[in-house]
Structure 1
Amino acid sequence: MLPVAVIVSLLPAVPATAQAHAGATYYVDSRSGDDAAAGTSASTAWKSLDQAISDLKPGDTVSVRRGSGFTGPVTLTSSGTKAQPITITTHGSGAKPKISGSGDDCVVVKGDHWRISGLWASACRWAGFRLDGDDNELIGVQADKNIAGAFVTPSGARNTIRDSVFTDNNRMSVNDEGGDNDSGAFGVLLNGDDNVVTRNTITGSFAKSKDYGTDGAAVEIFGGDRNRVTHNTSRNNETFTELGAKKGKTATGNVFAFNVVTSSRKRGSFLITRGPRHIVGPVKGTVAVHNSVYLPARDTVGWSCHDGCAPSILKLRNNVIVVGGETGFEDGKGADEGGSVYKGRRTRFKLGPKSVMADPKFTSRTDLRPGAGSPALGRGIVLPPSWYGGKAFAKDMKGKALTGSPDAGAYQR
């Protein structure tokens, strides 16, 4: 047997291109940077983002000084890997670095495995953040004054949008007379599959519409499958979620869990979905579980499953829904519903197992935790983690695990 040292010496050398890239950090400062500088420290920062993002490798980081401002688009074409994503972060103090400009979408992610945090996209052509690639993350970003705060295109899959703020994305893309086709004012729009939207705050997603009076949604899904929308806070949006797909396409198996939805607007709804008779139906396999909803105005709807509703279209479990209008609507064979508490002026669906019409005794109009003696306590039906989109999401709005007989709504005792 050859000695170990000899064996090692006989092994082929690993090419430099196959070795792991250690990762470099580049700095950008739009106010005092210089594109002729080294760009490798905060004191030698570059001025433009384009210089920093032109040739990034897996494991590289771009750090942008807070208070900086840029005109989009910022187009990210490189790709990281699962083990070594490419990172955009911030340094310094002050407002988030702002990207704006009506000529194009502001931040366009064409590559895969990006981890983007701390940026602000405002008043862009269409989307603040557009995700064309796969396995990207938006973390702690901000978007306002766009048609869509964040937009995952049909090619985008397995992206995560979390811990971010989407405020007043209140512009329409289509707004014309007739045709039942107005569209816009999205906090988040999902056209792709297997994405996660979690722990975001989404407010003010509504705009005037010639077809509908007003329109908009906190999270809209059109043609996307198996997306998980969990633990978000929604305030003063037209609709929390609306689902549809082009004929021949799908929007199947989307999950909405542990979201808290409130509004002081005169109009609003929690969830709108469609059966096969609708122009953008059928939308199959939608699950809404452990959501808490308070929409006190008269022109409000808890959930609507229309134009051929069926258990294969919509399943609801363990929700608490209080509206000033209609708690829920179903036609056809109806939705699969149970374990929930409802209060409203009118109900047009059949209550399922353990569901009741009663006052859930919310702590306040904005704090939707159930108070003492609430019928939501212990009301829920025990469910496997698949109902929530997986074991990682089987916790309440505050991170408390579900044990024993669960409470209905987004909060557990």
Structure 2
Amino acid sequence: MIVLEFKAQGKATQYTAIDEAIQTAQFVRNKCIRYWMDNRGVGQKELYRYNTALRAEYAFVKDLNSHACQTSVERAYSAIARFYDNCKKAMAGKKGYPKFKKNYRSVEYKTSGWKLSETRKQITFTDKKEIGKLKLKGTWDLNFYQLDQIKRVRLIRRADGYYVQFLISADTKVETQPTGKTIGLDVGLKEFYTDSNGHSEPSPWFYRIGEKRMKFRQRRVSRKKKGSANRKKAINRLGRVHLKISRQREEHAKRLARCVVQSNDLVAYEDLRIKNLVKNHCLAKSINDAGWYQFRKWLEYFGRKFGKITVAVNPAYTSQECSSCGAVVKKSLSVRTHVCECGFVLDRDWNAAINILKLALSTVGHTGTWVLDPNASGDLTSTLIGAVLSGQVESLSEESPRL
């Protein structure tokens, strides 16, 4: 599946109708969560029946397309199933008990409730929410795909406007020629990553650069009266700053991941537990700003797209072991140079990247096997070495038009 996103242009009344549709989807989801809380053990079929009862009871729910209501039910059950799955796995800490949503930002239609124009430049929503016809602004060409390939359509509200996403069933694989190169990557805070060839990519620090502007906008919000129109405007301007930073971080991760994967046949990287790393309050802001998870996500996606091998290895002792003789040289985070008794001297991150590549190559026979994930709608994923990152299989492509 791939995702094509367009900016939606319409009138103020249409935007109000979109907001109402989003609120209705939130209402259905929260009602399903409450029904599950009051009737433990109910499954997805019972929630579908409850949704039918909601449509009969509330006129504003009936005005929303029936498939859009079903999607809200599926989102509710997804949270319930994830909670049960975490309990079965005896996951440490919080299990993700389903919560009520109070700031929903999207509504999702299936194959009904919408209609594209002949030019594929406008979309009309045909349910009783009276959203009507919206213009689609973007660089993607929907004429390239058949209508039956569009499986779902999302309406999304962001700080800078409204967007329409098309989820399309299409093959994203690209045939490429082998390069004969392998590479190991060690991500860090001083440098975004250092590879096994000694090249370092500087950290962009988007959050820290935009932090001054963000604090200014936050002060403006705190000075406005709660519930006033000026406060809503100030909140929107603050949201735009956050949105710009998140987009910068995501685009940076995409660009680097694509370049790395296209230039190598095998890419090895650390299987880091970001959730555990951010518990260090001294480094949490820098770790989140680095965007390691986004970078890994796009490495795995482009690996599948271009038919390259991506390997996640256990990061234990990769910074301590000598890449020349294998001896363990203990060092603190402040020590940035690896100095071994064998006389080998190298940058700490460069040494770690070489060790990561060696670990991947020692088990590369396992990574060459492609396995089908039953929950990924037919997508293929490479077998990873070490612990598996939760949600490593991304069935949706959200590439930028610039890539």
TM over 0.5: no
Please report the TM-score for the alignment, with normalisation by the length of structure 1. 0.22
Q: Which has the higher contact order (CA 8 A, sep 6+)?
A: 2
- TM-score, normalised relative to structure 2: 0.23
